[in-house]
Structure 1
Amino acid sequence: MQIAKVCGTVVSTQKEPSLTGVKFLLVQLLDEEGQPLPKYEVAADTVGAGIDEWVLVSRGSAARQVAGSESRPLDALIVGIIDTVSVENRRLYSKRDQG
């Protein structure tokens, strides 16, 4: 899994039928200091994440291990919304402190 920040939404009216009803978000991957990496990715969202939230992203074949996603052509899936991230007794992120 990787930590990412939700930066936007992706709307696709024409897509593979198994992806009908799936919400897509644009996420920016974060490094170990919580700083944005130059890489963005589109991830399917099954947990109701929103803009500016930090999320856990499962990538590759692990993204298809969630019930209902086994036969979907997914490379990235948001599997959790992060409440806090701490490293060496230092808080990097707290959802409570946002907005």
Structure 2
Amino acid sequence: MFLGKVIGSVWATQKEEGMDNLKLMIVQPLDFRERESGQTVIAADRIGAGVGEKVIVSRGSPARILFSGKQVPVDAMIVGIVDSFELGLDPDEG
């Protein structure tokens, strides 16, 4: 899983079977100091994340498990909207 920020959305009128009613969002991975960290990904969203929100994204097989055994071509899934988080380190360290 990784922390990210939703920076946009993708509209696709034609999608593979099983992807009906899935909203697709563009997510920028973040480190825990909220700096960009890695390439953007397109993530499926069933929980209603919006542009500007911080989210938790699951990738690979764990993301597909959420579809109850259906074969869905999804590599990344938004699984949580982050309200806040706390680090045990001084943000200026490391």
TM-score, reference length from structure 2: 0.87
After TM superposition, list the pairs within 5 Å mapping 1:67-78 onto structure 2. Answer: 67-68=67-68, 70-78=70-78
Task: Report deviation, 1:70.
Answer: 3.8
Greater strand fraction, Structure 1 or Structure 2: 1
Question: Hey, what does 1:31 align to over in structure 2?
Answer: 31
1:86 aligns with 2:86: yes
Number of aligned residue pairs = 91
- Runs of 4+ in structure 1 off by over 4 angstroms are none
Aligned counterparts of 1:87 and 1:71: Cα–Cα separation in 2: 37
1:46 aligns with 2:31: no
> Over residues 7-27 of structure 1, what are the superposed CA-to-partner deviations in whole Å (9 max), with x where a residue is unaligned?
000001111021111100000
Which gives a bigger RCO, structure 1 or 2 (Cα 8 Å, sep 6+)? 2
Question: Hey, what does 2:20 align to over in structure 1?
Answer: 20
* Unmatched 5+ stretches in structure 2: none
> Over residues 51-91 of structure 1, what are the superposed CA-to-partner deviations in whole Å (9 max), with x where a residue is unaligned?
10000000011101114474211100000000101111668
> Identical aligned pairs, as a percentage?
41
Task: Report deviation, 1:32.
Answer: 2.7
One-letter amino acid of the counterpart of residue 77, structure 2:
L
Q: Assess, with a 3 A threshold, how the Cα gap between structure 1 residues 84 and 90 changes in structure 2: closer, same or farther.
A: farther
Greater helix fraction, Structure 1 or Structure 2: 1
Q: Assess, with a 3 A threshold, how the Cα gap between structure 1 residues 69 and 48 changes in structure 2: closer, same or farther.
A: farther
Aligned counterparts of 2:38 and 2:62: Cα–Cα separation in 1: 23
RMSD between superposed Cα atoms in Å: 1.8
